Amino acid sequence: MAPAPHSAASAPLPARSRAAGPLEPCKIYGSVYLETDPSRRSYCFGTVYVESEEAFADLIVFKESNKLFADKTGLWADAPARDFADYVLLVTTDRSRADFAIHYTKVRSFAGCKQ
């Protein structure tokens, strides 16, 4: 008897799929896991560069301590693991390889999209 065909449902998928359309950083909020291992790029929603200057960032991010408060653009709560994150993003040190850039702020009201 032939083995059962491999189900696509059993294959690992990123938290959000890029197949839905182009990456829109202005729609990212909630729990976010920042991946640093480039070999796991295929499991990530996108690639991000952490900008030291606010002027050059596409998205200003405020780190929330509780996921329940991360309910608007730019409000992120650190996820303890990839499996618990709404979004998994690969952090790169090369700006040219990133889909978008973020800058962390200490003021909640400054968080949001710059576009």
Q: pLDDT tens digit string along 14-40?
A: 444 445 557 899 999 999 999 999 999
Q: What share of the chain is helix, strand, coil (3-state, %, to 5)?
A: 25, 30, 45
Local confidence band at 55 (pLDDT 50, 70, 90 cut-offs): very high
Whether pLDDT at 58 is above 60: yes
**This prediction's pTM:** 0.79
- Check the CA dihedral 73-47-42-88 and report its sign: negative
Local confidence band at 1 (pLDDT 50, 70, 90 cut-offs): low
Q: Other CB atoms closer than 10 Å to residue 65's CB: what's the count?
A: 9
- Find, among 25, 30, 67, the residue nearest to 46 by Cα: 25
Q: pLDDT tens digit string along 74-115?
A: 999 999 999 999 999 999 999 999 999 999 999 999 999 987
Instruction: Provide the residue type at 86 as one letter.
Output: D
The pLDDT, as a whole number, for residue 10 is 42
C-alpha–C-alpha distance, residues 17 and 26, integer Å: 16
Whether 61 and 16 have beta carbons less than 8 Å apart is answered as: no
